[in-house]
Amino acid sequence: MREDGEIAKPAILFLCLGNICRSPLAEGAARAAFARAGIDAKLDSAGTGDWHVGHAPDRRAQAEARRRGIDIPALRARQLSPDDFYDFDLILAADETNLRDARAIRPAGATADLMLMLDLLPGRKGQGVTDPYYGKDDGFASTWDDVEAIASALVAEFSAKG
Q: Give the integer Cα–Cα distance in Å for 82 and 84.
A: 5
Give the CATH number of the domain where residue 115 resides.
3.40.50.2300
Asked if 21 is an active-site residue, the reply is no
- Is 77 a domain residue? yes
Please identify which of the residues 22, 31, 60, 78 carries the catalytic annotation. 22
pLDDT at 162: 60
- Is 6 a domain residue? no
- Is 114 a domain residue? yes
Q: Give the integer Cα–Cα distance in Å for 52 and 55.
A: 5
Q: What is the mean pLDDT of residues 5-12?
A: 76
Number of domains in the chain: 1
- Is 39 a domain residue? yes
Please identify which of the residues 44, 101, 131, 146 carries the catalytic annotation. 131
Asked if 16 is an active-site residue, the reply is yes
Q: Give the integer Cα–Cα distance in Å for 32 and 115.
A: 22
Q: Give the integer Cα–Cα distance in Å for 111 and 13.
A: 13
pLDDT at 160: 79
Q: What is the mean pLDDT of residues 90-107?
A: 98
- Is 70 a domain residue? yes
User: How far is residue 124 from each of residues 31, 116, 143, measured CA to CA in Å?
Assistant: 22, 10, 14
pLDDT(5) > 60: no
For the full predicted model, state whether its pTM sits above 0.85. yes
pLDDT at 161: 73
Q: Which residue has the higher pLDDT, 25 or 138?
A: 25
- In our burial notation (b when 16+ CB lie closer than 10 A, e otherwise), range 86-123 reads eebbbbbbbbeebbebbeeebeeebebebebbbebeee
Q: pLDDT tens digits for 66-87?
A: 999 999 999 999 999 999 999 9
Measure CA of the first residue to CA of the last residue in the chain; give whole Å.
9
- Is 23 a domain residue? yes
- Is 3 a domain residue? no
Residues 6+ apart with CB under 8 A from 39: 10, 155, 158, 159, 162
Q: What is the mean pLDDT of residues 146-162?
A: 92
| Maximum Cα–Cα distance across the chain | 50
pLDDT(1) > 50: no
Ranking 22-31, 52-61, 132-141, 144-153 by mean pLDDT, the lowest is 132-141
pLDDT at 7: 59
What domain range includes position 85?
A: 11-161
Q: Give the integer Cα–Cα distance in Å for 49 and 110.
A: 20
pLDDT(142) > 60: yes
- Is 5 a domain residue? no
Average pLDDT over the chain, rounded to an integer? 94
CA geometry: angle 100, 123, 136, nearest 5 deg: 65
